[in-house]
Structure 1
């Protein structure tokens, strides 16, 4: 038996979504309904919820804020959350891709609801969640949404004044007011090192290193992206030693 919680302040929408799920459960789903966040939190505390359907735009409340608070509860750190909304601009593809969550636009499509519910509550997805727990990650705020980024998917990080950009194999994420020092302390990975006062690089993704016109700096090229980072003289020896140890890449002989 799987427990599903629907947070939706429109009673008609709530009943519609609840009925759609119940029609396909074959006795396997227990559906709980909440019209506000207080009710939803109370249910989540009393029952172990396996899947949340959360309306983003609640009256005088925020479904996103509810989800962020749920994530602070140990039992729900990796529980599936599906957001429902009428606004397409909330559909951040990177957010979906990294977190394995989904957005569903209103009005509801019965087939889509039933398909995604069965998919997320299948044994294969449960195993995927267990695997995910074992992978090291950081959580950063991107456009007011907490995004999970796996450490081993980070290619490099660059910081300009008060803006940090994390480049990963799944795209780039921009975070305001997060320093390089703070990011480095959050990541704490032996393969991600500082290469310049404004850059962290993942040694495993380095393709080659070349001199620039500036005699005090070098340019770092990576696999999986056309973007480059800088290597400063003060960090050159450490990066080069590590690069030679763990990565098979092309190094400019002029170094």
Structure 2
């Protein structure tokens, strides 16, 4: 029997709430939709059910706003990794929500039906079994305004890009707009498969396919299961070859 995903809509505006229910009911995928108009009603439903996605108005006119409800949900072990989609007219919460609540996406009001349906589909399309998530190490990256969990084992290499980074994986490329390569390197320090080959690149050594000269002082690395390439500094070439057994 197919596992039916459960969605909890938390919205105090009855018109918006009914519209959200209608739009989700129109989707081809079959979801079980719950609705709450206040903070306490939302927390009560969350206790009684196992929700797969929270679609939450951040500007709730309750004792707790949507951000505060999300913090309480995260305190419950069963919701530490559950998808949260915030709906808001106030974008100033965005960075704080990503960092403190691990929210996965924002939609600014007013939002079109297609954007809401697309976001719900993307989030629930990436649902993994809880035991797979908790047993895996992962980074959280951005893909088309949706935050996606990326298992370390799927990462081919990471590139510094402006103030953030881009993660190249076997499934595609994802942005980490608020995280520098240095921060990521610190997060991955205990994973021996990652090696910094250039000031702008950190690679997973298990995906290295070949090393070719690229200019006078650097080289280029090609990878298995990835069409993209990265640079290798001359100073790191011998160390990398020793690690992966390519040293002549």
Please point out which of 104, 123, 127 is paired with 1:96: 123
Residue 156 of structure 2 is matched in structure 1 by 155
SS in 2 for 1:190: coil
Unpaired runs of at least 5, structure 1: 22-28, 101-124, 245-250
| 1:5-84 paired onto structure 2 within 5 Å | 5-11=8-14, 13-14=17-18, 17=21, 33-37=35-39, 39-41=41-43, 43-44=45-46, 47-52=47-52, 54-55=54-55, 58=57, 60-61=59-60, 69=71, 70-71=73-74, 73-79=76-82
Structure whose alpha-carbon radius of gyration is higher? 1
Please point out which of 200, 203, 220 is paired with 1:201: 203
Residue 240 of structure 2 is matched in structure 1 by 239
In 2, the alpha carbon distance for the partners of 1:233 and 1:176 equals: 28
In 1, the alpha carbon distance for the partners of 2:209 and 2:7 equals: 46
Distance change in 2, residues 1:72/1:42 (3 Å): same
TM-score in terms of structure 1 length? 0.63
In 1, the alpha carbon distance for the partners of 2:198 and 2:210 equals: 16
- What is the number of residues matched between the two proteins? 207
SS in 2 for 1:234: helix
| 1:144-183 paired onto structure 2 within 5 Å | 145-183=146-184
Deviation at 1:146, TM superposition (A): 3.8
RMSD, matched Cα: 4.2
CA contact (8 A) 2:194 2:203 kept: yes
In 2, the alpha carbon distance for the partners of 1:187 and 1:74 equals: 24
Deviation at 1:237, TM superposition (A): 2.3
In 2, the alpha carbon distance for the partners of 1:93 and 1:196 equals: 38
CA contact (8 A) 2:138 2:149 kept: yes
Residue 215 of structure 1 is matched in structure 2 by 216
In 2, the alpha carbon distance for the partners of 1:11 and 1:199 equals: 49
TM-score in terms of structure 2 length? 0.64
SS in 1 for 2:226: coil
Unpaired runs of at least 5, structure 2: 26-31, 88-110
Deviation at 1:55, TM superposition (A): 3.5
Distance change in 2, residues 1:162/1:93 (3 Å): farther
